[in-house]
Structure 1
Amino acid sequence: MKVLIMSDSHGLTHEIDMIKGRHRNEVDTMIHCGDSELPMASPEMTDFLSVRGNCDFDTDYPDERLEEIGGIYFFVTHGHLYNVKMTLINLAYKSEETNARIVCFGHSHSAGSELVNGRIFINPGSIRLPKGISVKTYAIVEQMNQEIKVSFFDIEGNELKQLSRTYLLE
C-alpha cells in the first residue's frame, strides 16, 4: 500500500498535476487534505480522496472521511474543525472513535508526522505556503509489513530525509 498525501495547495493547478503525474503509477491512492480552492470536479482534483478546508467553497467536498486503504483505516480532515493549530487531542479522540490508524490533516501548513498511542498523525505541509520550513512539501505513506514509512518530498520530488520517518504499527 502506497498513498500520496498533499494539502493546502491554495489554487495551484500545474503543481498538483506535476506531482500527480510524477507518482501516478507508483501510488495506490491520492489524498488531498483540503484548501485546494478548486472545485471538486476540476480535472486536478478528480483523482484525489479530498476533504473541504476552510478556504474551499465547493460544498461537494465532505468535511472529513474515513477510508480503508490496504487494510488500514485513514481518517482525513483539513483540521480547522479540530483546532489542529492548538492541539492534536481532538483529532486523537476522533481517531479512537473511528479506529483510524493513520490520521491525515493540513491547515497549519507545517509538514511533519508523529506516532501517538499507536496512531500515525501526518501533516503533509503545503505545496504553496509552507510554514516552519521554507520548503513546499507533500508526503507519501508506504506500508511494508508492520512498518509504515512516511516520506516527505519537496515540490521537485526530492525526498526530505530530515522529515521522513518509519513507524512500527502494532
Structure 2
Amino acid sequence: MTKVLIISDSHGLTEEFAHIKERHQLKYMIHCGDSELGPDDPLLDDFYKVGGNCDFDPRYPEEQLINIDGLRFFVTHGHLHHVKTNLMTISYRAKEENAQVICFGHTHIAGAEHVDKQLFINPGSIRMPRNRKEKTYAIMEWDSPEDVTVNFYSIDGKPVEELKCNASF
C-alpha cells in the first residue's frame, strides 16, 4: 500500500512537526507551504515542499509535480491560485499539468473532495486551524488508483473520521 503524508501551514512549529514525521515514517511526504522554516531545515528532509505566502526563501518552488505509484500530484500553497475564493484556478492549473491529485493549503481549512476526476486535498493546519478545533494533517493511501482513501488526523495522531474521503481514478 502506498501512503503519502500531507501537511501544511505549520507556521514555525518544530516539535509537533517532528512528532508527526516520526509517528508515520513514510517514504512519501508533502508540505504544502507556510512551514516558516528554511528549505534546508532538517525537519523538511525527504519532503516535497513548496513555498507559501509566509515562506520568504526564494529557493522554495511555487509548485511541484510528483508522480507516485500511478497518480500525478500537483502541489502548491494555494495563495497564487486564489483558493480562498474558489478552486477553479487551481483546478485549471492542475489540468494543464495532467495531475489528478491537488494538494494545497493556505486556507487552514481541512478537507478533501473528489470532483470531475480531480482529488483536492487541503490537510488543514497543525498550528492555526480554521472552521474546526482540531489541528490536522492528512494521509492519502491506495493499493490502486481505483481505491484511494484520504484520512485526516489531529496533531496527536487521532483519526478525524468525518473528514475521510474516498476516490477512484
TM-score bin (small chain): over 0.9
Offset of residue 144 of structure 1: 2.6
1:156 aligns with 2:156: yes
What's the CA shift string for 1:106-163, capped at 9, x where partnerless?
Answer: 0000000101111100000000000010110000000132111000000010111111
1:21 aligns with 2:17: no
SS in 2 for 1:44: helix
Residue segments in structure 2 that go unaligned for 5+ positions in a row = none
Q: What does residue 7 of structure 1 align with?
A: 8
Q: What does residue 134 of structure 1 align with?
A: 133
Letter in 1 for 2:82: N
What's the CA shift string for 1:40-59, capped at 9, x where partnerless?
Answer: 10111112100000000111
For 1:25-104, what aligned pairs fall within 5 Å after superposition?
A: 27-104=26-103
Letter in 2 for 1:114: E
What's the CA shift string for 1:27-67, capped at 9, x where partnerless?
Answer: 33000000000001011111210000000011111000101
- Using the size of structure 2 for normalisation, the TM-score is 0.97
Letter in 1 for 2:148: I
Structure 1 Cα separation of the partners of residues 91 and 46 of structure 2: 27
Structure 1 Cα separation of the partners of residues 164 and 152 of structure 2: 5
Structure 2 Cα separation of the partners of residues 45 and 28 of structure 1: 13
> How many pairs were matched up?
167
What's the CA shift string for 1:62-97, capped at 9, x where partnerless?
Answer: 000101011210000000000000010001101110
- Using the size of structure 1 for normalisation, the TM-score is 0.96
Letter in 1 for 2:16: E
Q: Percent identity?
A: 51
Structure 2 Cα separation of the partners of residues 15 and 69 of structure 1: 26
Residue segments in structure 1 that go unaligned for 5+ positions in a row = none
Structure 2 Cα separation of the partners of residues 70 and 144 of structure 1: 9
Structure 2 Cα separation of the partners of residues 115 and 94 of structure 1: 16
Offset of residue 17 of structure 1: 0.5
Offset of residue 4 of structure 1: 0.2
Q: What does residue 117 of structure 1 align with?
A: 116
